[in-house]
Amino acid sequence: MRIGTLKTSYAADEALFDTALQRGLLVALLVAAVVFPFVASPYWLFLACLCAINVASATGLNLLTGYTGLVSLGQAAFMSVGAYTVAVLEIRLGTPFALNLLIGAGLAAAIGILVGIPSLRVKGLYLAIATIAASVILHFLFSHWTLTGEARGLSMPPARLFGIAIDQPFSLYWLIMPVTMLMVLGAANLLRTRIGRAFIAVRDRDISAEVLGIPLLRTKLTSFAISSFYAGLAGGLWAYFFRVVTPESFPLDNSIFYLAAIIVGGMGTILGGILGAVFMTLVPELLKFGANWLTPIYPDALSALAPVRTIVFGALIVGFLIFEPRGLVEIWVRIRRFFHLWPFRT
Amino acid sequence: MDALFLAEVMLAGIGSGALYALTGVAFVLIYKATRVVNLAIGEILMLGGYAFLGFAAGLGLPAIAALVLAVVTGGLLGWLVERSLIRPMLGESPISVFMVTIGLGSILVGLVQLGWGADPLRLPEFMPATPVFIGDAYLAPKVAVGFVAAAVVIAAFLALFRFSRSGVALKATAGDQGAAYSVGIDVPRVFSAAWILACATAAGAGVLVGAIGGISPTMGVFGLSVLVVVIIGGLDSIAGALVGGLLIGLVEALAGAFLGGEYKLVVTFTLLLLLLMVRPYGLFGTHEIERL
């Protein structure tokens, strides 16, 4: 517990960022986010956009799995709903991109509710399997429906704003990054409302929550809806980012990726979702750097990259669960505590 | 539709269903004893296939020796996994443990790709090639051998649980861990034994599956079908795994023959969703009542 943060007004008590350090870091982050596209190369901008999309989706999954305690292996499938909706709307109707994104996210939320219906009767792993079933069915649907281009998928024109095509990493950054920031901020605020508190109560003990008067089914379905809304929005951004959507764009492995991201980052914390998604997105790139660097010494390094990436991915999940179950967030907290208490130790 | 074709399709379905049942039994064994949902079962099965390939083709051992060694490798892997990954997770939430097995699966896939490459491979032929006829219906000899082997192993398991001391210890541990401890059963050893047995069985099943359809690093998808099997049968029921395995084998074969190969997975998963709505704990699973 920190000393000396006495609150003297309700506004101060309710503030989302309640210490000077947090506010300072936030401002620094915002400045960095604004300056970044002007100094970074297109490759780094590309990575930043990818990270932002993954952060958006992982935050959605965190609301469902980390805060409501419902494991879902369908996050990638919900993303594919958003991505396909956006692609179809953009190709067929050419409606403005903001509307497309919202419709895509809304449709994903509707399907999320549908998938969440078994959640009242089945729990834990049975529910995870039910979400796998849903993603298998969605994958089948997308790869056999003429509207979604069957197995070939869809390629779509870029988003347009006032007649300017948003098709370069630089312009895409200005579309993706603000949307992601708004989504994360929304999630952080949601958890301070009645709905968010209900999520946490359901996670901690669902029967007790029901006894306290929280409608279980409605809370669980709300969680599914919000989580898949996030996934759908992230999927829509993904579609505008890559501009090709195929049934293989969102395999089951991606759902596992998002689950891994929130585990590595720290389940049930907003910061954890962000850290985990960024970390898990950047690790393969780090490995690629490593392989490039090793090539002069060991010529086969690049061909071994794919299996090594799979191994590292699995090892990260296992390692974090065994040695650091609360994820990267806990490491950050530990560092912060060290400096708070210095020169004393906990 | 002529009856002979239908009969052949159903026979093939039951044949592959037996392999589902066998792997399902391995899955249920781990779940019953340790309450761990082992999602890596498909990958352990895959490793069994590759181990067989390594021993039979790589070292040039005879098929039987390679089969035995592959099963032993599976058992060793089970022991290693239980001691190094699962035991530290004792008492953690089931979801964390389940994610550990997902990570394990990913590690195994990567290792196999490092060792043997990503392309599908064929196992050396070691099964009889004389066609089998039941009535007039033709059955591929490999499928027949797979069915018989699976049936024998499952029967052996059932006998083991019913009559042997360690089988009874396992059932006792599944029933009530505390009580099992207090009557002197070495529960951690039961955990190890369950993992060793199950992984050895899965590796053996991997050799059979690989002999029929070839092996590849994506073979772990087989585990997905096994998951459907055990969920339909009930996670903690051996009988459920048998019935579920045969049922899913039949349904997949029929869907593959009449609708097309790409319908297999979607049909089984739709079946699973419908069943979960009606009986959330599977056909034969125990309905756990939650108390506060």
Q: Pick the more confident residue, B91 or A252.
A: A252
Q: Which helix (H) or strand (E) holds A155?
A: strand A154-155
Question: Which residues in B lie closer than 8 A to residue A303 (C-beta atoms)?
Answer: none
Q: Please check whether residue A124 touches B, CB under 8 A.
A: yes
End-to-end CA distance of chain A: 11
Interface size between A and B, measured as CB pairs under 8 A? 127
A117 is written with which tokens?
A: 């219906």
Side-chain half-sphere exposure of B12, counting CA atoms within 13 A: 18
Q: What DSSP string describes A206-269?
A: HHHHHHTT--HHHHHHHHHHHHHHHHHHHHHHHHHHH-EE-GGGS-HHHHHHHHHHHHHH-TT-
A2 is written with which tokens?
A: 């920190």
pLDDT recorded at residue A254 = 92
- Contact criterion met (CB < 8 Å) for A136 and B269: yes
Please work out, in degrees rounded to the nearest 5, the angle formed at the alpha carbon of residue B30 by the alpha carbons of B26 and B35.
145
Which tens digits make up the pLDDT trace of B215-226?
888 888 888 889
Domain presence at residue B138: yes
Tokens 């359809």 found at: B213
Chain B nearest-CA distance from A239, in A, is: 25
Q: Please check whether residue B290 touches A, CB under 8 A.
A: yes
Chain B contact probe: residue of A67, A71, A111, A129 with most B CBs at under 10 A = A129
Which tens digits make up the pLDDT trace of A202-227?
999 888 898 999 998 899 999 999 99
Taking CA atoms, B131 is separated from B128, B139, B290, in Å, by 9, 7, 53
Domain presence at residue B178: yes
Domain presence at residue B33: yes
* Cα gap A246→A244, rounded to integer Å: 7
CATH number at residue B231: 1.10.3470
Question: Could you state, in order of their start, the residue ranges of all structural domains in chain A?
Answer: 40-341
What is the sign of the dihedral through the CA atoms of B234, B239, B245 and B250? negative
Nearest CA in chain A to B273: A130
Q: Please check whether residue A217 touches B, CB under 8 A.
A: no
Domain presence at residue B161: yes
Contact (Cβ atoms closer than 8 angstroms) between residue B100 and residue A317: yes
- Contact criterion met (CB < 8 Å) for A314 and B104: yes
pLDDT recorded at residue B60 = 82
> Is the confidence at residue A145, as pLDDT, over 70?
yes
From B103, B105, B113, residue closest to A307, measured CB to CB = B113
Q: Which helix (H) or strand (E) holds A113?
A: helix A97-116
ipTM for the predicted complex: 0.87
Domain presence at residue B70: yes
pTM of the model: 0.90
Chain B nearest-CA distance from A301, in A, is: 11
- Contact criterion met (CB < 8 Å) for B103 and A314: yes
Q: pLDDT exceeding 70 applies to what percent of chain A?
A: 98
Chain A contact probe: residue of B106, B275, B281 with most A CBs at under 10 A = B106
The 10 Å Cβ neighbour count of residue A2 is 9
Question: Which residues in A lie closer than 8 A to residue B262 (C-beta atoms)?
Answer: 140, 143-144
| Residue-range definition of the domain harbouring residue B20 | 10-278
The mean per-residue pLDDT over the stretch A176-191 comes to 93
* Cα gap B232→B220, rounded to integer Å: 19
- Contact criterion met (CB < 8 Å) for A322 and B106: no
**CATH architecture under which domain A40-341 falls:** Orthogonal Bundle (1.10)
Which tens digits make up the pLDDT trace of B40-86?
999 999 999 999 999 988 888 888 899 999 999 999 999 999 999 99
Q: How many domains does chain B have?
A: 1
What length does chain B have? 292
Chain A nearest-CA distance from B127, in A, is: 32
Q: Any residues with CB less than 8 A from the CB of A207 and at least 6 apart, and which?
A: B290, B292
Domain presence at residue B226: yes
Tokens 């099963």 found at: B71
From A124, A133, A322, residue closest to B269, measured CB to CB = A133
pLDDT recorded at residue B89 = 87
Domain presence at residue B189: yes
Question: Pairing relation of β-strands A164-166 and A154-155?
Answer: unpaired
* Cα gap A338→A182, rounded to integer Å: 31
> Is the confidence at residue B2, as pLDDT, over 90?
no
Q: Please check whether residue B40 touches A, CB under 8 A.
A: no
> Is the confidence at residue B127, as pLDDT, over 80?
no
* Cα gap A267→A59, rounded to integer Å: 10
Domain presence at residue B107: yes
pLDDT band at A111 (very low <50, low <70, confident <90, very high): very high
pLDDT recorded at residue A229 = 96
